[in-house]
Chain A
Amino acid sequence: DGGITQSPKYLFRKEGQNVTLSCEQNLNHDAMYWYRQDPGQGLRLIYYSQIVNDFQKGDIAEGYSVSREKKESFPLTVTSAQKNPTAFYLCASSQRGGSAGYTFGSGTRLTVV
């Protein structure tokens, strides 16, 4: 079955460490996205990529970095510069253009202690 996979589901890190969250899709979608969600809040866009080897900052990119070396993969690194990294992170993908909607992964809950 086609889908989008995020791993791990739960992640714990010490303050000051960088951590990379994985996102893989086999839907042949061109575009991929990373969102952050805090408790009781909506989703906020961190980074997005419309095509391989290209990506753009979203609304809250500071303290995060991404790469898009393959169509299937869009990893997110939470760096030590991110002041409040504890959150629920969601990855999504979609076809480019038209009225295509998103397919979301199941999320990674990051806790920094």
Chain B
Amino acid sequence: DAKTTQPPSMDCAEGRAANLPCNHSTISGNEYVYWYRQIHSQGPQYIIHGLKNNETNEMASLIITEDRKSSTLILPHATLRDTAVYYCIVREENAGNMLTFGGGTRLMVKP
């Protein structure tokens, strides 16, 4: 799997958009970008994934740059319950389904 680089921590005001960056400069053409989050003492929760195009679901939006070397997860209206560690992972389709978790970004949403 290609490695990812994320800032260790970020703050966001409640109600504002949270933009979490991820660099994956060595990503290959068939590797997907996945985002998970982990609220304290719980199992990680899947958020979204994408290959080339921007993706949106009920939780978040994923913006992938045209060269695919970086991406941004956007939580449009952050709430206190979005405080968590957010993991950005790249993985090749059909590569044994393996996901390798790095350190992630600790997002703190403040009132």
Contacts and interface: CB of A to CB of B under 8 A. Distances in A.
Interface residues of B, number: 23
A42 B42 contact: no
Nearest to B43: A104
A8 interface: no
A78 interface: no
Main secondary structure, interface of B, reads loop
Contacts of B100: 45
Interface residues of A, number: 28
A6 to B, nearest CB: 8
A16 interface: no
A92 B101 CA distance: 13
A44 to B, nearest CB: 8
Interface of A: 6, 31, 35, 41-45, 48, 50, 88, 90, 92, 94-107, 109
Interface of B: 32, 34, 36, 41-46, 49, 51, 87, 93-94, 96-104
6 contacts: A31-B97, A99-B32, A99-B49, A99-B51, A104-B43, A104-B44
Ordered nearest first, which 9 A-B pairs have the shortest CB separation? A104-B43, A43-B101, A42-B101, A101-B46, A97-B94, A104-B44, A94-B97, A99-B32, A31-B97
